[in-house]
Chains A and B, each alone.
Chain A
Amino acid sequence: MKNRFKLHVWLALAFGLMLVWALGGIVFLDRNSVEAETPGTPPPSIKVLIRTGTESAALRQLLGPFEEETGIRVDLIEVGRDGYFTTVGTQLLAGSETFDLVFVPNTSIAELASAGAIAPLDPYIDNPALTDRPSFDLDDFLSVYRYQDAIYALPTDISTHFLFYRGDLIPEPPQTWDEVYALAEKFSKIRNTASPTKWGLAMPAVVPEERTKIFASLLWTFGGDFLSEGNSRSMLSEAKSIEAAQYIQRLVKNRLVPGDLVYWDFVRTRDALLSGEIAMAAPYWNAAYPMIRSDTESPYRDQIKAALLPGVKGPNGKIRRVPFQHAWTFAMNASSTRKEWAWKFLAYATGKKGGALYAQAGGVPARRSILADPAYRETRPDFQLILESMKYAKSEPAVTYYPSMVEIVEDALAKVFTVNNKPSDAFIQATNELNRLTAR
Chain B
Amino acid sequence: MFSLSKPISIRTLLLAVFLLLMIFPMVVITFVIYTKENQIFQSQVSQYLSQTVQQTERALDANLTEIDRLTWPLLYQQQLDFLEGPLHTPYQLQEANRKFQQMVYFDLFRGRLDHIRAVYFVTPERIVLSTDNTYQWAKQMDKENYRYIIQQIASRPLKMNWFSDRRAAFRSDSGFETSVRDSVVAARRLIDSNFSTLRGHLFVQFNDRFLADSLKNVHIGSTGALLVTNPQGDIIYEQESALLQNRQIRDAVKSLPSQGSGSVKLQGKWLLSYVTSDISGWKMTAVVPMGELLGANQKILQYLLIMAVLGTVIFIIISVLLATALSKPVIQLARLMSYSSIGHLQVRDIQGSIHEIGILQRNFNRMMERIQQLMQENERKEKEKREALLQALQMQIHPHFLYNTLDTMYWMSKKHKAEPISKLVAALGKFFRFTLSSGQEWTTLEKELEHVENYLQIQSFRYRDRVRHTILIDPPARDTAIIPLLLQPLVENALEHGISNLPEGGDITITASREGERVTIRIYNSGVPVDVRRIASLLQDETQRAHVGLRNVQNRIQMAFGPEFGLSVEQAPEGGTLVIVSIPYQSLATKEAAG
Q: Mark B30-67, 1 if CB is under 8 A from A, else 0.
A: 00100010011001101100100000000000000000
Contact between chains at A18 and B159 (CB < 8 Å): no
Q: Which of A113-121, A151-159, A299-307 lies at the interface?
A: A113-121
A21 to B28, CA, bound (A): 9
B176 CB-CB contact with A under 8 Å: no
State the CA gap A117–B189 with chains docked (Å). Answer: 13
Contact A90:B8 (CB < 8 A) given known A116-B157, A440-B195: no
**Does A372 interact with chain B (Cβ within 8 Å)?**
no
Task: Determine the distance from Cα of A66 to Cα of B539 in the docked complex, in whole angstroms.
Answer: 113
Q: Are A34 and B43 in contact (CB under 8 A)?
A: yes
B194 interface contact, C-beta 8 A: yes
Q: Which one of A212-220, A287-295, A396-404, A418-426 contacts B? A: A396-404
B5 touches A400 (CB 8 A): no
Measured CB to CB, the nearest residue on chain B to A1 is B5
List B245-271 residues whose CB lies under 8 Å from chain A: 262-263
Residues of A within 8 A of B4 (CB): 4-5, 8
- Of all chain B residues, which has the CB nearest A34? B40
> Complex: how many Å from CA A360 to CA B160?
43
Measured CA separation A76–B593 after assembly (Å): 121
Binary contact track B7-30/A, C-beta < 8 Å → 1, others 0: 110000100110010001100110
CB distance from A35 to the nearest CB of B (A): 9
Chain A residue with the shortest CB-CB distance to B75: A93
Nearest opposing residue in chain B for A36, CB measure:
B43
Q: How large is the interface on B (under 10, 10 to 19, 20 to 34, 35 or more residues)?
A: 35 or more
Please state if A37 and B195 are interface contacts (CB–CB under 8 Å): no
Residue A89 lies at the interface, judged by CB distance under 8 Å to chain B:
yes
Q: Is the CB of A334 within 8 A of B158?
A: yes
Give which listed residue, B47, B76, B159, contacts A335 with CB less than 8 A: B159
Q: For the complex, is A15 an interface residue (Cβ under 8 Å from B)?
A: yes
B193 in the interface (beta carbon within 8 A): yes
Chain A's nearest CB lies how many Å from the CB of B49?
A: 10
Given A95-B159, A400-B195, the answer on whether A90 and B75 have CB atoms closer than 8 Å is yes
When distances are taken between beta carbons in the complex, the residues of chain A under 8 Å from B17 are 14
Q: Which residues of B contact A94 (CB under 8 A)?
A: 68-69, 71-72, 75, 158-160
Q: Are A37 and B50 in contact (CB under 8 A)?
A: yes
Residues 38-61 of A at the B interface (beta carbon under 8 Å): none
A135 contacts the other chain (Cβ, under 8 Å)?
A: no
Chain A residues near B24 (CB-CB < 8 A): 18, 22
CA–CA, A90 and B191, complex, Å? 12
Are B77 and A33 closer than 8 Å at their CB atoms? no
| Residue A64 lies at the interface, judged by CB distance under 8 Å to chain B | no
Closest to A18 in B: B24
B196 at interface by CB-CB < 8 Å: yes
The answer to whether B263 and A117 touch across the interface, beta carbons within 8 angstroms, is no
Write out the residue numbers on chain B whose beta carbons fall within 8 Å of the beta carbon of A77: none
In the complex, which residues of chain A have a beta carbon less than 8 angstroms from the beta carbon of B71? 94
> Do the beta carbons of A404 and B16 come within 8 Å of each other?
no
A117–B76 alpha-carbon span in the complex (Å): 11
A residues contacting the other copy or chain, number (CB 8 A): 41
Is A111 a contact of B193 with CB atoms below 8 Å? yes
Residues of the B chain whose Cβ atoms lie less than 8 Å from the Cβ of A115: 158, 191, 193, 196
- Across the interface, which residues of B come within 8 angstroms of A11, CB to CB? 13, 16
Docked-complex contact B76 and A15, CB < 8 angstroms:
no
| Residues in A neighbouring B8, C-beta threshold 8 A | 4, 7-8
Name the contact of B46 in the complex, choosing from A37, A93, A400 (C-beta under 8 A). Answer: A37
- Contact A33 B50, beta carbon cutoff 8 Å: no
* Assembled-state Cα–Cα distance A231/B25 (Å): 88
Do A404 and B72 touch across chains, with their CB atoms under 8 A apart? no
Bound state CA distance, A246 and B521, in angstroms? 167
Closest to B36 in A: A29
Chain A residues 65 to 96 lying within 8 A of chain B, measured CB to CB, are 86, 89-95
Least CB distance from A386 to B in Å reads 32
A15 partner, pick from B20, B43, B156, beta carbons under 8 A: B20
Cβ of B273 to closest chain A Cβ, rounded Å: 9
A5 to B73, CA, bound (A): 91
Contact B196 A34 (CB under 8 A): no
User: Contacts A4-B5, A116-B157, A440-B195 hold; do A33 and B40 have CB atoms under 8 A apart?
Assistant: yes
From residue A408, how far is it (CB to closest CB) to chain B in Å?
Answer: 11
Considering residues B4, B50, B158, which has the most beta carbons from chain A within 10 angstroms of its beta carbon? B158
Contact with A along B368-400 (1 / 0, CB 8 A): 000000000000000000000000000000000
User: Once bound together, how far apart are the Cα atoms of A11 and B9, in whole Å?
Assistant: 13
Which of B47, B77, B159 has the most chain A CB within a 10 Å cutoff? B77
Would you give the shortest CB distance from A33 to chain B, in whole angstroms? 6
- The smallest beta-carbon distance between B445 and chain A, in angstroms, is 54
Q: Which residues of A contact B29 (CB under 8 A)?
A: 25
* Closest Cβ–Cβ distance, residue A437 to chain B (whole Å): 7
Q: Tell me if A37 and B193 are in contact (CB < 8 A).
A: no
Known: A33-B40, A36-B47. A401 touches B159 (CB 8 A): no
Known: A29-B32, A93-B75, A400-B195. A18 touches B40 (CB 8 A): no
Scoring B residues 456 to 489 as 1 if CB is less than 8 Å from chain A, else 0, what string do you get?
0000000000000000000000000000000000
How far does the Cβ of B29 sit from chain A's closest Cβ, in whole Å?
8
Nearest Cβ distance between residue A114 and chain B, in whole angstroms? 4
Q: CB-CB < 8 A to B28: which residues of A?
A: 18, 21-22, 25
Q: How far is the CB of A75 from the nearest CB of chain B, in Å?
A: 19
Taking CB atoms, residues of chain A closer than 8 Å to B196 are 111, 114-116, 400
A117 to B191, CA, bound (A): 12
Is A33 within 8 A of B20, CB to CB?
no
Q: How far is the CB of A122 from chain B (nearest CB, A)?
A: 20
- In the complex, what residue of chain A is closest to B28 when comparing beta carbons? A22
A contact set with B: CB distance below 8 Å: 1, 4-5, 7-8, 11, 14-15, 18, 21-22, 25-26, 29-30, 33-34, 36-37, 86, 89-95, 97, 111, 114-117, 334-335, 400-401, 403-404, 437, 440
With contacts A11-B16, A89-B75, A95-B156 known, what are 6 further pairs, Cβ within 8 A? A8-B4, A18-B24, A36-B47, A86-B76, A93-B193, A403-B193
